[in-house]
A and B are shown apart, each in its own frame.
Chain A
């Protein structure tokens, strides 16, 4: 309890010492905000920008069902398996002719589950204009302004719009799957027309829901959705392996592109590829490290100034009987206040800014790393403050000014 009270006193003094702490709060806001942004930029190389950075897209030259494509995909995988970190297939199945289709993304061979939300640019979280990305089974994404037009016998038409929170139930007998619309994507991008191929509305679902629909609900179910003749392969996405730092990712993208362009595996051909210049990545990484160290050093500078500015105060507190650890907690209160306020405001600022502008998404990893950096700054400050306290003798309290 006394320690907590001393810490709280340190907080309140930081608030009162507006000139000193205010300047550092602003510096911490700037540095943590910038660090969050920079970490988000690095993070985006494996999320939002993964296709630009290490993706190679293959598309079939004609409509191709999963049964026919199965072996070709295996061939592609074998041809590039040493250069890729994952192969992802975009499957399509028609639900109502011309009106509603299901799409999903499935990895084959090696593939990372965390990449799946990002490899299809149409439905990646940053493309969602309303709601959020799907989070497993029973959830779906549909195009904005979805209108499903059913023609039933007798010439009657039912026009059904799908909105956020609505359920689309696909049912055959007693087997059904309920998909709740949790987000809506923009259908005006090129990928939509390439994948939809004339179908008005595409409902993006998890592979598990897709598989259940194809293997259990479809009128004459297939044993294996990946070999069903009524499931179509609309796109293959290859994600190159290797790290950006050494340039291996770029080399692999190039190698995959050359391999599949010079020796195409019909009917797939390379339609788009990415690749990040090593120097751009290195400079992004370097900036991040500089900011990371900057935040820690800023904690040290603040601690240095705190010790310098409060030398007499520290000596007085020690003279009147505060133990070293009491003084430490007291000064840490100020440091923790300044750094944590800087972190929270910096985070809120960047988060708010990222929602209204085209900034990369801020992941929990980014927040976590930034928080750890702030803790490191506090720890560095703690070390510096403790050293300072030990150096200041209580006898300084008597010293003439």
Chain B
């Protein structure tokens, strides 16, 4: 694992919000390296800073201090337009509440990230159908979100996240709304993508069960509390776990 290039690096990242009652630290002095092809779980209770970390990694927010390097490029100097392009081309997002567009079919939802691209309609459909096939939702491509179960919606959302062949998938509580059976299915897809396609997966969750179910693929387990890393464990895809000493 250590031979792989670094995809994302958080370098002494602090994020604080100014509020009427003073400054609130969402993240404090976080340093973390995410290698290409890793499967990372960010674990922590509500308010621990997981979502803030995802926001910063994906360039949706900027750190108060420190730097974030994405694919050898600091995101601090990038314009909003460039950041949007980076998200569109390099990152796939999976949200807790799926965030599908109600009046679009599954196929159209998967095509959404491609719409601003200069691709033919045929090419877009082909790519979207490929990804729907990958998540076993091809047969339901013409259904609208309200005609799909929660698990099916999340699989469509994963297909949408994959349609631009991203380097990394960022998933925020991807199974929080799912029953155990669908949780397993969604997780299996993410594992398969990581193993077979080498896609880097970053999951933020407060669900220990998810960690247990992903044990075989996890390469890093980051435990956050009050905006700080409380514990960091590394493993070579489920084998030989080691605690990393925090600096």
| Residues of A participating in the B interface, judged by any CB pair closer than 8 Å | 1-2, 5-6, 9, 13, 16-17, 312-313, 316-324, 326, 393-395, 397-398, 400-401
B81 interfacial by beta-carbon distance below 8 Å: yes
- Which residues of chain A are near B55, meaning CB under 8 Å? 395, 398
Residues of A within 8 Å of B117, CB to CB, are: 2
Q: Are B115's CB and A6's CB within 8 A?
A: yes
Chain A: which residue is nearest B161 at the CB level? Answer: A320
Partner of B99, one of A2, A16, A316, A326: A316
Chain A binding surface SS class: helix
Q: In the complex, are the beta carbons of B88 and A321 less than 8 A apart?
A: yes
- Nearest-neighbour CB distance to chain B for A317, whole angstroms, equals 7
Contacting residue for B116 out of A312, A322, A397, A400, CB 8 A: A322
**B36, CB-defined interface residue at 8 Å:** no
Q: In angstroms, how far is the closest chain B Cβ from the Cβ of A38?
A: 35
B70 within 8 A of A: no
Chain B positions 72-126 with a Cβ under 8 Å from a chain A Cβ: 80-81, 84-89, 91-93, 95-97, 99, 101, 103-104, 108, 112-113, 115-118, 121
Contacts of A326 in B (CB 8 A): 115-116
Contact A320 B101 (CB under 8 A): no
Quote the shortest CB–CB distance from B206 to chain A (angstroms).
12
* Proximity bits, B42-58, A CB within 8 Å = 1, else 0: 00000000010011001
Say whether B9 faces chain A, with CB atoms less than 8 Å apart. Answer: no
* CB within 8 Å for A16 and B54 given contacts A322-B116, A398-B172, A400-B96: no
Q: A397-B93, A400-B96 given as contacts; is B58 within 8 A of A319 (CB)? A: yes
Judging by beta carbons under 8 Å apart, are A13 and B113 in contact? no
State how many angstroms separate the Cβ of B189 from the closest Cβ of chain A: 18
Q: Is the CB of A319 within 8 A of B118?
A: no
Give complex CA distance A397, B97 in Å: 9
Residues on the B chain within 8 Å of A313, using CB: 99, 101
Give, as a whole number of angstroms, the nearest-CB distance from A62 to chain B: 77
Nearest A-chain residue to B55, judged by Cβ = A395
Report if A320-B104 is in contact (Cβ < 8 Å); known contacts: A312-B99, A326-B115, A398-B55. no
Contact B101 A321 (CB under 8 A): no
Q: Roughly how many angstroms separate A6 CA and B108 CA in the complex, as a whole number?
A: 12
User: Which of chain B's residues has its CB closest to A309's CB?
Assistant: B102
Q: CA–CA, A46 to B86, complex, Å?
A: 60
Name the B residues within 8 Å of A324 (CB-CB).
Answer: 80, 84
Question: B127 interface residue, CB < 8 Å from A?
Answer: no
Can you list 20 A-B pairs, Cβ within 8 angstroms, ordered by A? A2-B117, A6-B116, A9-B108, A13-B101, A13-B104, A312-B99, A316-B93, A319-B87, A319-B93, A320-B88, A321-B85, A321-B87, A322-B113, A323-B80, A323-B81, A323-B116, A324-B80, A326-B116, A398-B95, A401-B97
Chain B: minimal CB distance from A354 (Å)? 36
Pick the residue among B89, B112, B116, B164 that contacts A2 (CB under 8 A).
B116
What residues on A are CB-neighbors of B161 within 8 Å? 320
Given A13-B104, A16-B103, A320 contacting B93 (CB threshold 8 A): yes
**Across the A-B interface, the 10 shortest Cβ-Cβ residue pairs:** A321-B88, A321-B87, A16-B103, A316-B99, A394-B60, A326-B116, A323-B84, A395-B60, A395-B55, A13-B103
Contacts of B93 in A (CB 8 A): 316, 319-320, 397
Interchain CB contact under 8 A, B60 and A393: yes
Known contacts A13-B103, A395-B61, A398-B51; is A321 also within 8 Å of B115 by CB? no
Q: Is B155 positioned at the interface, with any CB of A under 8 Å from its CB?
A: no
B99, A321: Cβ atoms closer than 8 Å? no
Question: Would A321 and B89 count as touching, CB distance under 8 A?
Answer: yes
A122 and B101 alpha carbons, distance in the complex (Å): 61
Give min CB distance, A305 to chain B, whole Å. Answer: 15
**CA gap between A26 and B68 in the complex, in Å:** 51
Contacts of B96 in A (CB 8 A): 398, 400
